[in-house]
Amino acid sequence: MKHEYSIKYANEGYAVIKNYLNDQTKNLLFNHTLLKRQVSRYMWKEKQKLFSPYMYGYPFGDVQVKGSYCHYSDPIFESLLYSSTKDMSNYTNKKLHPTYTYYRVYEPGAVMKEHVDRDSCKHSMTLCLGYTDKVWPIYLEGTPINLEPGDLLVYRGDKLKHWRDPLPSGYHSQVFLHYIEEGAENWERDKFDTRPLLMLDGRFKTWSDKGLPTDKNIMEYLKQSEYDYNKIHNNR
């Protein structure tokens, strides 16, 4: 008999699994994301010459969600991605292969505009790790989904338009774990998000539809994002 979640996933493109993470794990991961954010901002401010977004993430966010700390391929989450492959294959009733992970610590005013995801994100898990104020819905084709810490949403990120309204207050930590189906178009290229192995950082990617950034591009982006962040923060 098919898993109840896989029926919903097949029919509606998503399913919610309550309490996927236990209290100890979700607290561990929530604190990990908050500490990484602190370290990233400290390193950028105090030791800019040694700063690498591959190790410390983007202290002032990315182009998709400006001002909210984010990190690609953190080892702890790449490990969670790998170890969740069997569960994710069961929830979707597909033979899946891990691609990559990403997380954000959303700050007040953070906006995630309506979008669909790129090729490496055909089957995705997103987990709420924790928040400091109130539950903050993600919308899938207009349907609000409220995830409490430890709750998991599996969804077709490439098919269902998704977004969030601006975060009214507090912090909200969320991780994204992405998979592709074995045998699907370009899956050999997209497995591990075009890296040779999980846990390797973005410098090991061999392909991107937007081209891979140079170190100079990255440094310019970091400086601009800090400037933008300070401008908004000082005007609050």
Q: How far is the CB of 98 from Fe ion (least distance, A)?
A: 17
Q: How far is the CB of 31 from Fe ion (least distance, A)?
A: 24
Q: How far is the CB of 33 from Fe ion (least distance, A)?
A: 18
Q: How far apart are CA 208 and CA 186, in angstroms?
A: 12
Q: Which is nearer to Fe ion, 161 or 223 (CB)?
A: 161
Taking the CA atoms of 162, 75, 198 and 125 in sequence, report the sign of the dihedral they define.
negative
Q: Which is nearer to Fe ion, 53 or 157 (CB)?
A: 157
- Going by C-alpha positions, the residue among 180, 157, 214, 18 that lies closest to residue 99 is 180
Site residues for Fe ion per CB under 5 A = 117
Residue nearest Fe ion, Cβ-based: 117
Q: How far is the CB of 19 from Fe ion (least distance, A)?
A: 23
Q: Which is nearer to Fe ion, 4 or 114 (CB)?
A: 114
Q: Which is nearer to Fe ion, 117 or 201 (CB)?
A: 117
Q: How far is the CB of 163 from Fe ion (least distance, A)?
A: 9
The answer to whether 92 and 123 have CB atoms below 8 angstroms apart is yes
Q: Which is nearer to Fe ion, 51 or 162 (CB)?
A: 162
Q: How far is the CB of 115 from Fe ion (least distance, A)?
A: 6
Q: Which is nearer to Fe ion, 117 or 181 (CB)?
A: 117
